[in-house]
Chains A and B, each alone.
Chain A
Amino acid sequence: MRARPGCSSLVGLDPVTGGTKEYWVENDLIQYFYKLGWQHKFKALHSVKEVIGQPAVVFRGLCRDGQEEAMCFAGLASHRYSNHGAELPPPHGMTFVVYVRSDDVIFR
């Protein structure tokens, strides 16, 4: 596995081939959520992994300058998380979305 400086990896669906590929999350962002005590955001990375691996649908092209090639993976997460890190049932009627830049980095 090829390392990408300052990032951790996630394996997810490659919507072009139907196989899998590596995606990346900046370590600074992960640390940021943890160090500020945002457990529900930090733990949501489990949902990111889940949805990027098995999305219900993938869109390409966000209506925003410079993100014409970015992708959006949408799906149903099996949990949401409390600020104590506890698993809770997923919110009713909501989808979980993951945005990925054209260089395969996950962003908010």
Chain B
Amino acid sequence: MAALDVIGFMEKLEATEAPPFTSPQWRYGAEEDALTFYFRNEESYAHRLNEYVTIFLAFDGDQLVGCQVKGVRRRLKSDGQFAVSLVGQSGKVEIGMIFHLLAYDTPDPRLVELGQRAKGLNVDASELMPSS
């Protein structure tokens, strides 16, 4: 079977109208072990903050738009204390807490802002830390 090329696949998707962006949006990609979080829809560029965090800043004005955190599962697995801090009795990880904890490593007001923006959003711990 021949593979569709990327542009062909895009054209296929564009045959149906895309929904408008609604804020906030987040996604944990298990394959890439990365959490992506957006709370604004401005066009943005990437700025690497540290080993784990890349922030997205608006082309116009450099305001914080979102971020990507790499190696979330790897870090949860390797750092028991980090994991215990995040997973409460509900079995859910509050995304905002991840940013607040990362801010201890890299004191940056933008990480604190991300923590505030992500308040109330959570992900099942089992998704981040599969038992197998």
Contacts and interface: CB of A to CB of B under 8 A. Distances in A.
A35 B3 contact: no
B18 A91 contact: no
7 contacts: A3-B3, A30-B6, A36-B21, A37-B18, A45-B6, A46-B7, A107-B32
Nearest to B14: A34
B84 interface: no
Q: Specify the main secondary structure of chain A where it touches its partner.
A: mixed
B34 interface: yes
A34 to B, nearest CB: 5
Contacts of A29: 29
Contacts of B41: 37-38, 83
A30 B6 CA distance: 9
B34 A108 contact: yes
Interface residues of A, number: 42
Interface in A18-60: 22, 24-27, 29-32, 34-40, 42, 45-46, 48-49
Contacts of B2: 1, 3
Given A37-B19, A38-B21, A94 B7 contact: no
B9 A8 contact: yes
B20 interface: yes
B122 to A, nearest CB: 19
A95 B28 CA distance: 26
Contact of B13 (A25, A31, A94): A31
B114 to A, nearest CB: 17
A8 B3 contact: yes
Contact of A1 (B3, B34, B42, B71): B3
A4 B1 CA distance: 9
A76 interface: no
Given A34-B13, A64-B51, A108-B32, A83 B21 contact: yes
Contacts of B119: none
A37 B45 CA distance: 17
